Amino acid sequence: MSDKTLERRTAINPLPWILGEGGYRLDRAVLKEAMTALSEVGFTHLTIELPPEMTPKEYGALLAEHSMAAAPGYFSAPFHDRDRHGEAVEAIKRHARAHLELGVDTAFIATDLLMDRIAHPAVGTGHDADRTLVVADGLAAAAEAAAAEGVRYGLHPHVGSAVEVEPEVRAVLDATAGSALWFGPDTGHLRWAGAVPEKVIADYADRVLNVHLKDVDAAAADAARERDEDYMTATGGSKVWIEPGRGAIDFDAVLAALPEGFDGWFVIEVDVPNLPTATESSAASLEFLRQHPYFTTPAGGDA
């Protein structure tokens, strides 16, 4: 494996360990296993995935034990329900404070997944323009509250949520222009739902805060759509997600669309590894970073 030094702020999400064969499991034991493997692979930063039973101080100590540090995490709430916006605002304040305690002042924000869209993902099932604006209002309110705490949040489009297809992503960003809501594009979720990630990123480049580097196996995505597979089957069985550089995303174009001097975080996400094991998947993801000149060039330098 290359020993090139990464000059950009890069991290990885431990989801391949959290989303195991037994379903979703987030606890100290799983994190310890993930941190051990990822540290040995060569990653130095881990996106914040805080188990409910752990304090930020305990989480930070566990990271330090594995020679790792924290990177931007992810917040989600039922923003499609206006009656729950107040609840989401209070929750994101707690989320923001935990981030600050771990030394991180940015994060991703999304709206919760919806049952009909989980059943029929990436096609904009039941699109509702009014609901999209309700979501936008809630996201803006939450981002404003978090900014007051000292943490900036960027909109993360997510297949299966009410901000799934490109018109919804653009509608939320347009409706929240001038607010505290930034943009945290996920290349994989944008691509699976039919968008061209670099075009969306270019159009909102001045609001891009951080980026989830996620790739898509286009053939798997097409087949899953033809079979009308639900989200879990498409990602877990058909393996729509694939390691960065091995799928359909044009990362050269994505990176070129970012503003000059961009210094946000890049977080690798391969929820369900396409390669045989989580460790092999993570190693391939790190090699992608080390082989791409963008990530070995300091922000503001010439790639």
Give the CATH fold of the 9-244+256-296 domain: TIM Barrel (3.20.20)
Q: What are phi and psi of 2, to 5 degrees?
A: -60, 150
d(CA 183, CA 185): 6
d(CA 175, CA 87): 21
pLDDT, position 301:
61
Higher pLDDT, 137 or 302: 137
The mean pLDDT value for 127-138 works out to 98
CB atoms within 10 A of CB 51: 17
pLDDT digit string, tens, across residues 167-198: 999 999 999 999 999 999 999 999 999 999 99
Domain map (residue ranges) of the chain? 9-244+256-296
Residue 210 pLDDT exceeds 60: yes
d(CA 35, CA 18): 12
User: Residue 15 in contact with residue 301, Cβ under 8 Å?
Assistant: no
* Rg of the Cα atoms in the chain: 18
d(CA 224, CA 240): 8
DSSP state of 264: -
The mean pLDDT value for 201-208 works out to 98
User: Residue 293 in contact with residue 262, Cβ under 8 Å?
Assistant: no
How many residues are given for the chain? 303
- Output the average pLDDT for the chain: 96
Amino acid of residue 130: D
Q: Which of 16-20, 36-40, 273-277, 295-299 has the lowest mean pLDDT?
A: 295-299
The mean pLDDT value for 143-158 works out to 98
Percentage of residues of the chain with pLDDT beyond 70:
98
d(CA 194, CA 197): 9
The mean pLDDT value for 133-162 works out to 98
d(CA 267, CA 252): 16
